[in-house]
Structure 1
Amino acid sequence: MSESENFGHEHPLVLNEGQSTPSEEAYCSRCEEEVTLSAPSFSCVECGFYLHKRCAEAPLEINHPFHPKHPLLLLQSSPYAQALFCICDFCDKICKGSIYHCSCKLYFHIACALFTYNIAQKNVEELQHVALEDPLISTDNDGEELESFQCFWCCKPLLSSTYFSLDCGFHLHKKCAELPLKINHMCHRKHPLGLQFNIERFSCNICQETQERGFVYCCLPCEVAVHIDCVPTSPDKIHQHPFTLFWRRAPFICDACGTEGNHVAYICTTCNIMVHKQCTSLPRIIKSRWHHHPIFHTYFLDEDLKNRDCVICHDEVNAEHGSYYCSDCKIIAHVNCVTKNKSWYYIVSPENEDEKSIDSLALLPGESIDSIYCIIEKNDAGEATKIKHFKHMHDLMLGEKIARYDKCCEGCMLPISASFYYCSECDFFLHKACAELPKMMKPVWLDYCQKSSLILTSGHLFRCHSCYHLSNAFAYKCNECDGHLCLRCVTLTPDTLTCQGHEHPLLFYVECEVACSTCGDDMYRGYCCKGCNFALCTRCVRLPLTTRHKCDEHVLTLTYKDDNDYSECRFCDICEERRDSNNWFYHCATCDTSAHKDCVLEDLRYIKLGSIYKEGDHPHPLIFVKKIYYYPKCIKCGKPCQNLALECVTSGCNYIVHWRCIVSKHLWW
């Protein structure tokens, strides 16, 4: 025995945890049910006052999951006069003693309210000591008692399934105790249906009958309800039911892809769905080039995925029809968008559905930064200040500032900015971000070989399959098709892109018919603004913000708008041709120099000067050069070599040739 607070009683109460039973019949003063040895209770040593422990500790207010509209309030007695009575909405018996009450005219015995609350909260500890009873092998009765007893959840006889018989008098089918609190149902795809008390007495949308008491799956805002027994198997799992050909030709909306059909359809009467013939075999799980995780087909959407746009076409996905989604990243795609091109995806087997693809720019399993480069020294913050990169023979030092602006990263060929590594023995620079890229990565969204791997390479000439620029810097090579992606493109994502030249975020469109706002060229894919007529092609999306050119001694800055009101002044200071004021250009504010971006950057800007060219018929080594002041004549065409050329490094050999005069056509297209 241990003393406790008196719970409003005038005398002290003690806790009886089953050590003894009352000498005569005793009843709980709150629920008015008999106090037995099996249930802990409080008792008064001076008078015949008893309280079940669960009744004594019952909260004054319950936010019940099965009745989310209002809280349930604990009342000491029925709110009506003694001449009237109320019926418990759970057990269908007259309410006695303390009750839980809601203004919706919902009434519960205190024991019924606490029991259903524990079930809703999955507090099933009280069921663990109760043995399951199988009605088929029970020998304690002849079945008549089971016929008269009903499950308190579905109101069906206990004979229909394995059940629990609890000490508190409740009988519950095992399958009912394990019901999910929320489901998706084909009869109402706008919202999930929640397991609730049918206080509104809604009729079932499936059988059209009204259940007097018990539970239903319900959407209160839409007044849609389905009886527990009327809930069919969800089609969200791998569809195992046969489809039947529906010969009647009539327009319909396919439940699997959400598009219209005007021919015969296939139906599944179990799941109540109608689909195109080709949608009967839609894969459940696919790996798409547009996302780094596997995505799943669903006929329903979670609340946090509704009212979202397709990750491919960026139009809203209708929540009432099928789609592909990733629950981790909260992305969604139209079925027809993600399966439009067979090279954009591959099917993932159900056995591997829990596997997650590696993020495009993440390290491979078991790989660390140290395997990409060897860390020689670190600073106090743990940052690598001296490394040995696997693509360079000497040690590299971490730098924060650079005095010269004409240095480019050996990896991406963009101008060096803050956070870079440099070699103190030779002219080698590498952005810190480029240095930390992995040796090998899973396919990125730009790569059409989605089952292949990309391997980091360098030192040979390639044309990027995305931006089409020619380069001999670092690249990722596909081990299936031998295609190349430059580092500038491999770090792009199909996600939202911000641009300093435009106020709104940009989205990648796989199909678009607009002109690039930077260069004015027509584009068929690229980054576009959904709200206004602004677009960037894949060649312009990675333009350097600053660069240098021999036309000006200062750094030229990428400029997005020409504020000069004099149209006659809008000329390029390099080619002296007129500039389009709507297109971006490079500008020097000090000298008021303005030039076309292509005149400043040139088409072959990503080829490293001084690097060796390993092809060709010349017997000596050739290097890439660009003459600035002295222009020798090309050995092939006889014209001055003003642009990119190849020059022999052997002393006494005056061989020099335009790059365009010897380059193979497959590299020049």
Structure 2
Amino acid sequence: MEVTALKLPTHEHPLYPSTRFLIVSCEGCCVRGRIYGGYRCNESDCYNKGDDGVWFHKECGESPSEINHPSHPEHPLTFSTEIDLEDCRLCGGLTTSGYCCAICDFVIDLACVQKPLPPLAIEHPMFHEHSLVRTNKYAFCKICKNNIEEGYAYECLTCGHVNFHLDCVNQSREVNHSSHSNHILEFFKSKSLPENAEKTCILCGIESQHVLYHCSKCNFSICIYCKRNPPPLTVQHTKTHKHTLSLLARRVSFTCNVCGMQGDRSPYSCIQCSFLVHRDCIDLPRVININRHDHRISLTDHIGRRGNLKCGVCHQSVNQYCGGYTCSICPNFVVHSSCPTTKRVWDGVELEGIPAEVVIPPFEVVGVNLIKHFSHKKHILRLESDGTTRDEKTRCEACVSPVYSDPIYRCEQCDFILHETCANLPMKKRLPFHNMQFKLYAPDMDSYKAFKCYACKTMFSGFSSTELFRSCGACQRGRMLPTKLACGDCDDFALDFRCFNLPRVVKHKEDEPPLSLCYGEDPNGKYWCDICEGETNPKDWFYTCPDSGFTLHVQCVLGDFSFLMPRRITEYPKYRCKFEVVPNNHCSRPFCAGCQSRCIGPFFLKIYNPKIIYICSKGCFRTFTEFWEKGLSETVFSGGRTLHV
């Protein structure tokens, strides 16, 4: 059944009805809580604005364009999402969307519109001995211990600024609740219950630190929020299950038929089918893209036998007898049903009913072993796969690495070269550190530019695509990594992207054998770098030659400029400067204007400032560009010397 999108005044994009259970902030009234039966936005831009995208309560999504409200009977109020951060006249909270008067300076938010007008004072509150007055102050509620940011706050002037939520202070001490109709639930402070009493909400699983409703006969407890907003006793969603699902409000261990993962409380069930499901697994998206796979994946109610039953997101086992996401192109790729929405790997767009995107190839075949590549349209490229060994100077325009004996495409009219693998890079690709799709970009070969990679922070001039604290297992640096690759089986091993992309084999000098990347040796051994003559930590990765036995630091072999095309004038747009990348293969090493030492790396930057200066590392380049921006580069960097300002 096709779901119809609705264009409602509350949002700029079409909204779709949803029966998912989520704890999110409503975009309309800004109240955070569990939404069921609301509306969602299917635009990826909106999904990336928040933790779970843009959602609306059903009432907020269906808010009319114009209303008459008893708080302002003089004029009608018009709905707007472009209010300049005004105070709501009823609750005093700041809002950017709600109802405003076109004549008067009067604004009320959606939450206040949907509730009856609160009294200015409460003479006999249920949970306090003194009368209370309404206030606009932000404070902590004495009952639930949460910050009063939304709704109405009430203050006791007798007790000295004791504050309450309106809903908290007016709660009943005993309630008949739909989730536990056998007995009455009583209001308790958590610390007053026996030690073995249930203090975790049976319905939502949140431990109640302060107050809850409890049945002493059944040891049944629910939190204040679930008391006010209970989940529905039945759910009808045929895409999840063909029969009506009923809430089983109790502690019970079960395996969810949709995601295959364990649950410990309050599933929805179909008795006649022995079907059990987490409420969060109801109404999952059917067809989606995730940043861990190149193709669409589709939700199925039965994975079945497959070659690899490891989840492509969390890498844990997948139950073949339960549901999950599968790929129609890659039969061995499976994903837990719950992982795309809980692990932040989905772009937030439901693709069911939307045609698949047409794949655009990166080149056009124009003959046998002849192509016209999108990055070099003016000439034809010919495939060379005869295994010829080439020198260090022959480099790929895409990855800026030496090609050696790899198959390549070479231009017949100029020196443009691509690895065969680089020539086949897709025009669009999803990368693991972002939910949006990236487009392959090739720089203009008439005006070469350098950029800094978001993932590995390396300066490069090839093709490009437009937080956890953990030490990298290769370089041992501990940092806030925007991206990392961690081992699913080892809790203490991760790699940053720079170390992950280190070449396995490099050449330091053309007349010497290649060097291999070493992944760590006996920590008691002593190693010395043959370039800088400093000690090499055997726990760090380094390069070594098996024949000669000498070792070299990774930084000494590669330096900071190995991914910039040598012998080429390159522009760095961020700092509006140009430089030439020069191999450090002369008899005398140049003197770095930044660190006041001889450059030891394989490449250095030659900058015309207008005098020629040399830079050996990213740190020295950063110092230079800081002075460049201040207009002091000529006076500070003069004659190859750095003068302190």
State the TM-score, normalized to the length of structure 1.
0.47
Bigger radius of gyration among the two: 1
With the length of structure 2 as denominator, give the TM-score of the two structures: 0.49
Q: Greater relative contact order (Cα 8 A, min sep 6): structure 1 or 2?
A: 2
